[in-house]
Amino acid sequence: MTMKFCLLTMVLVFAAIGDKDVAADEVDFNRDIRPIISDNCFACHGFDKDARKGDLRLDQRAAVTEDRGGYSVIVPGKPEESVLLERVSSSDPDLLMPPSDSHKKPLGQKSIETLTEWIRQGAPWGEHWSFVRPQRPTVPKDASHAIDHLVRQGLIEHRRDLASQAATHTLIRRLSFDLTGLPPDVELVVNFPQTPAEQDWDDLVTQLLASPHFGERMAMWWLDGARYSDTDGFQSDSTRTNWPWRDWVVDSFNANKPFDEFTIEQFAGDLLPDASPEQILATCFHRNHMNNGEGGRNPEESRVDYVLDRVNTTGTLFLGLTLGCTQCHDHKFDPISQRDYYSLTAYFNSIDETGAAGGRAKPYLKYKSSYAQRAVDQAAELVKQTESHLAAMQKQADKEFVPWLLKQVVRAKRGFRPWTVVIPERMATTEGYKLRLESNGIIASSPAAFPQDDFVITLAKPELDRISGLRLEVFPHSSHTDGKYSFSETGEFILTNVKLLLRKRGNSQIQEVALAFAVADVNGVGVDSSYKTVRETLDDDPRKGWTTRTKPSDVPHTAVFALEEPLVLSHDEELDIVLMQRSLAPRELMGQFRLSVTDQRGAAVRSLKPMPLELLAKLNDANLKSDAVESNIDGSLRKQLFSQFLEGHAAWKEAKRRNDLAKSQLNSAKKSAGDQSVMVLGDRKEPRNTYVLERGVWNKHGDEVSRGVLPAVLKRSAEDVATRLELGRWIVSKENPLTARVITNQVWQLFFGAGLVRTPADFGLQGESPTHPELLDWLAVEFMESGWDVKHLVRTIVTSQTYRQDSSVSAELLELDPMNRLLARGTRFRLPSWMIRDAALKASGLLNDAAGGSPVFPYQPPGVWQDQFMGRFVYRPSIGQAQYRRTLYAFWRRTSAPTFLFDSAMRRTCEVVPRRTNTPLHALTLLNDTTSLEAARTLSDAAIVASPKDLPKRFEFLMMRVLSRMPTADEAARVLLRQYAVAKDYYDEHPDEAEALTTVGQLASPNEEVVADVAATMLLANLLLNLDEGITHE
């Protein structure tokens, strides 16, 4: 039994704060006893009748003390006669409880002593604390603040008091992040009184609670719990348009809608008399679950999943109960039966839904959002801007066109060859067909028995500077079956895939060169009709491909393939052209074919028509006299040539790309401004029967059940709670012992990093007891009695001295209370990742703080969606101001959460436990994410404008923006100045590098004279944005 020192220390520390020293004290059943027997006994001797062993339950006093034929498990007041103690401390492994095959440890000495003492005191029983209605504890009239009074009560025995108040700027930041999710304006910090009075804090809180950002901040909490997402999840992961509900949540918090109304509308807004569209919209809450539209899926199975998800979400978010456990069996710990569970599902079982996904997930509400027009206006403005930029680029290109054209004329005069025949360096096959080169570059294969094969034609550097397209000609031949194209029974050929592989001498790796487009003179239909068009050769799917069957079979056929980007082959590179013929039709492989390449791009390789330069070459000499060349080329040919020219014009192409994006952004904004289909609740005419599902399996019907609420929580007759609406009212009934506590706890958790109950999702027997039971109850009662006033609750919490404490910690206090259960200090915890992004936007000045509307697309590294979906979804970051919206509005793909949110809730099921970890991936994200870098660049620009020459002033500017405080002399001199100087020296020497660094996001690099200064300041801003202080709730 060895355990090194540090661990031992830890355990003792927990003993100090986690439990009380019971020996001298009165034993409290809920606090001291229930955790021991729940943890160790209830799995086999608890509420679940099916799991119960030895016909013994230990979760009721009557059962524990009953006479079991000459003995009782517990004899109150007589530890020596209580069999319980005998069994838990037995040295006989056959008698010992819990038994070894339960994989539970034997009880520790301390637990046994506690049990003994409890029995000696008469084994008083108590109802589990959270199932008893909270009573407001008495707080002396002269107490300055109820919260502080109740927290101090817990500190007395440790002879401690609350910590001193945090520094003013720290407290302003804390309030600003907590109430709006954003750092404070610099002006606010600067103008705030040096020694603020109570009124100053009150005013600040009032101001922040009135900010429209308050609702956004609170919504982020609610969306995680509500598993809100913009897609279905699962196989097809279709997009849904439920975002008006998200805006409804924001509006509700901003309007301070009482929490009971907020709840009732989400449960049953549709059932309210004369329900408004917004009240129906609210019910989307219960439709935010994932939808599974997988091909082989039985929709009914999916529908049942959704119903269960609603109950589980209700359990976690409102009741703090792990109801999911009762899907398959009675709860092992809490007094909730499987039957109770399925009675709850009955309220959600008659929604007029089918279990379908995608666009067929009725019922829907057609809803027009009042927030959508702003996005349309902004997008229209952007289209204008990008259009005029594009026009300017076009004008510039126009000027450059004539000299280019003259060069082409010269080329055309020399004789233009549209296609250059490939003379292979090597030829190979995978399975064993033999290839030979004939005249004119024609390649012939010999008849063979292999049903399938790949032809690999290797090309060394051609005469061309670059390759932009590939042509394949397939020839009929008299030696082939029926004089057609192959030696197979049918004489047909099927080309399944075409691949280009680039290899470099001395490098063992090869690179695939992407093809963008394919076109053929004819497309036929195979015996297996999935073989058709030449476009089917571009993917990796051998089940599809190109055939000319059903088309004339005595003429050559041609296909042209366009490369995504022109390929420049260097002398030490080779290109493998792989022609895969892996169809189901045996031996349908080309007998004679020829490959050619071209350097022409654009329309030239997207059709089989003559290329523009070909046409140019055909003009007679007289028309090509250089001085009149332009006027001699007719309009349509000129247009073709010009568009080919533009294909190679980088600046024009970039302008075009942005303009295209702006236009598509405008289109989707317009679409979002019309009627949106929002998934909502609505009952079908014929209610469905509800059954207990055996082992939770969707079609294993057990007993039929009718609607009913959880008797252990708040008993009500079936008639009293007959509808979904009444269920909503039951949830927020003032007699419900759980809801107010559970919600208050979650709100507390937002501001303290951890709840008063450290298991926010479990207020049941296995959950932790509150660190401050009286405080939790006081808050819960206050919340209810204020009329479920959320802003009042928030104000109450953040005006306490408990909230205002300094978050620094002495080694001694850390030792005593590492998890801050005493609340003898402020808590320091990393801000949620979404807040870190928003803070960077705000600090830099990039933030577009518009409210509401359809989702936007913040920067994400390229390829994330493509990797995961093998190219089915492509992520296109928003351009213009839409890029800088708050994270709340970021598009949430359920199967691939935004990458910049490194440890967010997953939004698959209800989550109320904050995820907060500390990994190198966070570090990399904050160092290198485009948002982070663009914010650093923007900060740098602003700092230089604010202080072009005076460096110390510039550092002050940066620190105020990022940390809301001035640098210390040490920080400025020892770190900031040196950092700046080193970087500045480097970038003075390397202006190209400075240009590269400062070209980021949507920003072009600054001009040459200042670029080194901007780059060096930007790097400094990057450092500040990564400081622990900047990303931490202090």
Task: Calculate the dihedral angle through the C-alpha atoms of 625, 627, 630, 632, rounding to the nearest 10 degrees.
Answer: -40
Q: Looking at 86, 849, 988, 1029, which residue binds another protein (CB under 8 A)?
A: 1029
Residue 213 or 984 having the CB closest to another protein: 984
Angle, to 10 degrees, between the axis of helix 951-963 and the axis of helix 930-946? 130
Residue 178 or 762 having the CB closest to another protein: 762
Residue 256 or 496 having the CB closest to another protein: 496
Q: Does 298 bind another protein (CB under 8 A)?
A: yes
Q: Measured on CA atoms in the order 29, 35, 39, 40, is the torsion positive or negative?
A: negative
Residue 65 or 909 having the CB closest to another protein: 909
Residues between 1007 and 1026 that touch another protein (CB under 8 A): 1015, 1019, 1022-1023, 1026
Q: Which of 468, 520, 517 is nearest to 495 (CA)?
A: 520
Distance separating alpha carbons of residues 426 and 987, to the nearest angstrom: 49
Q: Does 4 bind another protein (CB under 8 A)?
A: yes
Q: Which of 104, 106, 105, 68 is nearest to 87 (CA)?
A: 106
Q: Looking at 24, 69, 103, 199, which residue binds another protein (CB under 8 A)?
A: 103
Q: Which of 533, 397, 514, 429 is nearest to 467 (CA)?
A: 514
Assigned token pair, 405: 């054209």
Distance separating alpha carbons of residues 318 and 906, to the nearest angstrom: 19
Residues between 787 and 806 that touch another protein (CB under 8 A): none
Residue 365 or 456 having the CB closest to another protein: 456
> Which window, 566-574, 708-716, 791-799, 824-832, contacts another protein (CB under 8 A)?
824-832
Q: Looking at 425, 675, 867, 950, which residue binds another protein (CB under 8 A)?
A: 867
| Nearest distance from C-beta of residue 51 to another protein, angstroms | 10
> Which window, 193-201, 356-364, 840-848, 980-988, contacts another protein (CB under 8 A)?
980-988
Residues 6+ apart with CB under 8 A from 667: none
Q: Looking at 501, 522, 637, 966, which residue binds another protein (CB under 8 A)?
A: 501
Angle, to 10 degrees, between the axis of helix 773-785 and the axis of helix 739-752? 110
**Residue 577 belongs to what H/E stretch?**
strand 573-581
- The angle formed by the CA atoms of residues 922, 755 and 21, to the nearest 5 degrees, is 115
Taking a C-beta distance cutoff of 8 angstroms, is the pair 930, 1001 a contact?
yes
| Nearest distance from C-beta of residue 263 to another protein, angstroms | 22
> Which window, 670-678, 716-724, 943-951, 995-1003, contacts another protein (CB under 8 A)?
995-1003
Assigned token pair, 1023: 């450092």
- x/- string (CB under 8 A) for another protein, residues 922-951? xxxx-xxx---x------------------
Tell me the β-bridge partners of 470: 561, 597
Q: Does 525 bind another protein (CB under 8 A)?
A: no
**Residue 342 belongs to what H/E stretch?**
helix 338-345
Q: Looking at 819, 946, 1003, 1010, which residue binds another protein (CB under 8 A)?
A: 819
| Nearest distance from C-beta of residue 910 to another protein, angstroms | 10
Residues between 666 and 695 that touch another protein (CB under 8 A): none
Q: Looking at 507, 626, 643, 706, which residue binds another protein (CB under 8 A)?
A: 507
| Nearest distance from C-beta of residue 582 to another protein, angstroms | 6
Distance separating alpha carbons of residues 646 and 394, to the nearest angstrom: 9
Q: Does 228 bind another protein (CB under 8 A)?
A: no
Residues between 443 and 472 that touch another protein (CB under 8 A): 452
Assigned token pair, 102: 């339960």
Taking a C-beta distance cutoff of 8 angstroms, is the pair 906, 897 a contact?
yes
How many CB atoms sit inside 10 A of residue 488's CB? 20
> Which window, 114-122, 136-144, 539-547, 686-694, contacts another protein (CB under 8 A)?
539-547
C-alpha 566 chain-centroid distance: 36
SS3 (DSSP) at 934: helix
Total site size for another protein, rule CB under 8 A: 132
Residues between 898 and 927 that touch another protein (CB under 8 A): 899, 902-903, 906, 908-909, 913, 915, 917-925, 927
Residue 450 or 475 having the CB closest to another protein: 450
Q: Does 108 bind another protein (CB under 8 A)?
A: no
Residues 6+ apart with CB under 8 A from 867: none
Q: Which of 191, 185, 241 is nearest to 208 (CA)?
A: 185
Residue 522 or 584 having the CB closest to another protein: 584
Residues between 734 and 793 that touch another protein (CB under 8 A): 758-762, 764-768
Tally of residues, the chain: 1034
| Nearest distance from C-beta of residue 198 to another protein, angstroms | 26
Q: Does 323 bind another protein (CB under 8 A)?
A: no
| Nearest distance from C-beta of residue 39 to another protein, angstroms | 8
Per-residue HEC secondary structure of 689-700 comes to CEEEEHHHCCCC
